[in-house]
Structure 1
């Protein structure tokens, strides 16, 4: 018997179909969880991002519809048609699709774990990147690795189809005690790998993407899955703090598979050090921006090439000798980048948490890029020091406003994604570009929200109002220090009044205001740290800040200064595997020892977030239960600091009162 809910919904669909002006019926984002849908014609509808969890679906026709990114967990589907549907990235885990017709459907990147596909029709279906773990296949067998493969629809040229794994080891370990929160709250999508995934798929290859942080995949698990899946090529991306993990992963994969699998590695660390990090566990290095290098390399690799000398931007071995080819030019036209293969990611696990209650319903999101490069010269940032790939400066390049809006609209239409995180360090650097993008979003009436970073002195009331109208819900800036002298040294000379005005504008326009700050910068002293804590605490509109210990990363001016002992810096160690921004410090500076830095960091985080509004914001963003042990740990650090920490706490509570240490430390 058809339920009343089904009858009402069927009537709505019939009404929409009867209106020729309606066009493609948009039902995206609907919640059908737990309902019963029977004998409904839902063909040629936009149902992206809908929730069909625990739903009973009988004899419905979804043919030609867009179901990308929808949830079908534990759904029971009997005799329904899904011909030519778009279901890339859909979550079908544990659902019963026995006997369903998926002819010519696109299930690329879908989660089909523990799904019943017995007697289902998969003729012509695209299954690249789908996860079939313990899936009951149409012939009744239970899927085991290497038993079944996806149907590839594009040509790989003269070569063979490759099974490719793209991954990046966990990066949240350098968050110290905050690492667990970093994995489950506001995880970051590795956008660069997903560009490469799209390029590989467009050349007919089967790509699997594993986000080790989001999926909680250890190096042992990554090795096991690589061995079980029989990949031809593994692509690893790694920044400097996690490069040792990429080496460990490659070592273990090679130990298990030997020459059966080839490994290529790229990322910031490789860009900086080049062949100095070409270890035996790697077969190739991709140096510089890889979007043009990648398709050329794949074509050669798939055809069984032994000579890679004609491919710019890679390093390889000829008869055991390292060969570094000509440098690859920077990617000139960012509008020519493909859409990132977000369908290969576990989209449901990328969710943002917010400080303000009004934003609580913002769910899954994707990262997006506006530009590449940075014109500033901050001494602590490798991107800001004229990043060079073999001498070529990676200058500022922008995607057009239309191109960015196209990507936003595609993600919304295809996957029901309504929130975007701009990975750029500054979304207001080029005023006209920012204005054009906002106007493009408004013109298209896209029901989306977004967030990003800026520099406090590069935004005004008019621009903030336009950004808010276009969908801005959160904006962050790098305050870094509350001491003007430290800001000059680190080349982040933004006036304090500009910073205060930034937070006032955010509050005025209803935008969540956050910032980053550091301690342990070149020239830092105990007094300057206290001034930073006092300054941040004095900004009433500030909702949340991360207060990290400055690390001298490779490629930065700060590392050079630390090795030279400049500005009071003393390098304790430069083993990147030990770098952490919260539990220890690789440097000491002036009268601040490593223990002092850890204690002042704890003091600052407690002091700044003790105000009721910020305390509530922290709970909403990070969760109460995860915060309790972290808070206790920070309190203990402060207590161990004795009288000095107590007096520092009290002095930062009294604006205008400079703290005087009872026994000043001798500066080195």
Structure 2
């Protein structure tokens, strides 16, 4: 049996989409190099290959191919089963891709998976007969079970984690599949079919090319806006891998591809002090000497662990801050103490570890004053890099239900749900346009802050003196970006 797994191309009005591997599927400028590794697709491929299936994994986003080329390569493979990872913001184009595939491959079974839980609802499958299955949550074992049944000629409709149709056409919505308890039983992700040097996430100045890894899955915290714990995992269960196996993978893949760094893109990496220290010790014991970065929480970091990870090569940390308002953080159930954030960021910088901070505009309780405070906090914390976004309530999240109940959703045009360019909510007396302006203002202010930073940060001067050509190109690009943002802001205000 031949199985095709794909991340289809996605673009709109000159922007390109980022989907598989992203907790925040969105559209971005084609010049933006950010590209996450498609973890679920790669793990699912490895699981199927281990069971003896013929598998073709194609990341059309990473390869920057057209939809026509994506469909042609899939059709040429003649698969019996097709799985596409989809998302809320891309679903319109995902359905167009399926229609093209269905025309070429009328007998193939087609499944959707990923960050669009609506696909598993009865109404969706009734409206879209071209889609045979929808997989809910993490889907490696769901896909394996369905593929094994079809290979035996069984037309079962009772697979946990799936929605499908019975022989009469009635849609069957099955319960969610239990999470994979032992992550160490999973094979390492399949990487050979993928353009590994194209994947790019370098927080805080991490050198590239960089390997993206997972050392854990899930998060025990309860942020109402966070998509993966709620949609992909269905709760707050936190699961970890054996640190030795993690470092085995890190060492082997870095050696195979010549990566210059490693980024642990876990939901929350730094939980469990004993495990953190064991992982750092294992890296030191093997003398790997490779810089790495992590996605973490500021309030679960402590000096001993940070120092140990620094000795093991940690050079950068992403911390999610979201807002300068403690009340807003409490209302979205993040459980984060802002006073600890300021202390942890200061400590992290003192230890010589670069910081990347993330903020969002539009959470419940947002006002013009809290927006100004958040921008001011970003400047005061002065991270090496920063991300601002517009709060987007993904279907399937508590925030979506809250926004819907309060009448704060302004549209259910899913193509607008990317949080990168367009606001789909109102908040208090803030209109969607106000939130979009807040995003542009934040980036405009940050770019101005960065341009002035070399005047008071010795580290910036050292960077400039060490790499003058690279630094000049960087500031030239940032100046152009600043002008572009200013033009966008002016156009928005005029409109």
Superposed pair shares fold, TM > 0.5: yes
Distance 1:575 1:328, change over 3 A: same
SS of 1:570 mapped into structure 2: coil
Structure 1 counterpart of 2:373: 531
On the 8 A contact 2:120/2:173 being kept in 1, the answer is no
Aligned partners of 2:446, 2:170: CA distance in 1, in Å?
55
Q: What TM-score does the superposition give when structure 2 sets the normalisation length?
A: 0.85
Aligned partners of 2:447, 2:255: CA distance in 1, in Å?
39
Q: How does 1:577-616 map to 2 (within 5 A)?
A: 577-611=415-449, 612=451
Aligned partners of 2:218, 2:6: CA distance in 1, in Å?
24
Match of 1:575 among 410, 413, 424: 413
Aligned partners of 2:443, 2:400: CA distance in 1, in Å?
25
Structure 2 counterpart of 1:83: none
Aligned partners of 1:525, 1:472: CA distance in 2, in Å?
37
TM-superposed deviation, 1:310: 5.9
Residue deviations 1:581-612, cap 9 Å, x none?
Answer: 23321111122122221222111111123123
Structure 2 counterpart of 1:189: 37
TM-superposed deviation, 1:346: 0.7
On the 8 A contact 1:372/1:398 being kept in 2, the answer is yes
Aligned partners of 2:253, 2:100: CA distance in 1, in Å?
36
Bigger-Rg structure (1/2): 1
Q: Confirm or deny that 1:547 pairs with 2:394.
A: no
Q: How does 1:150-161 map to 2 (within 5 A)?
A: 161=1
Structure 2 counterpart of 1:365: 210
TM-superposed deviation, 1:254: 0.5
Structure scoring higher RCO (CA < 8 A, sep ≥ 6) equals 2
On the 8 A contact 1:599/1:637 being kept in 2, the answer is no
Aligned partners of 2:36, 2:279: CA distance in 1, in Å?
23
Q: Confirm or deny that 1:344 pairs with 2:185.
A: no
Residue deviations 1:512-557, cap 9 Å, x none?
Answer: 21111011111111111111111111223x1221111111111222
Q: Confirm or deny that 1:334 pairs with 2:183.
A: yes
TM-superposed deviation, 1:488: 1.9
On the 8 A contact 1:165/1:208 being kept in 2, the answer is yes
Residue deviations 1:547-572, cap 9 Å, x none?
Answer: 1111111122221221222xxx6221
Structure 2 counterpart of 1:288: 137
Aligned partners of 2:473, 2:9: CA distance in 1, in Å?
23
Q: How does 1:492-511 map to 2 (within 5 A)?
A: 492-511=334-353
Most deviating of 515-524 and 248-257: 248-257
RMSD across aligned positions (CA): 3.0
Aligned partners of 1:397, 1:318: CA distance in 2, in Å?
34
Structure 2 counterpart of 1:479: 321
Distance 1:445 1:168, change over 3 A: farther
Aligned length: 467
Q: What TM-score does the superposition give when structure 1 sets the normalisation length?
A: 0.64
Distance 1:178 1:169, change over 3 A: closer
Distance 1:487 1:312, change over 3 A: closer
TM-superposed deviation, 1:623: 5.6
Q: How does 1:69-108 map to 2 (within 5 A)?
A: none
TM-superposed deviation, 1:176: 7.2
Structure 2 counterpart of 1:459: 301
Most deviating of 239-248 and 476-485: 239-248
On the 8 A contact 1:272/1:554 being kept in 2, the answer is no
Q: Confirm or deny that 1:277 pairs with 2:124.
A: yes
Aligned partners of 1:625, 1:232: CA distance in 2, in Å?
51
On the 8 A contact 2:4/2:74 being kept in 1, the answer is no
Structure 2 counterpart of 1:166: 6
Q: Confirm or deny that 1:634 pairs with 2:485.
A: yes
Structure 2 counterpart of 1:423: 265
SS of 2:56 mapped into structure 1: strand
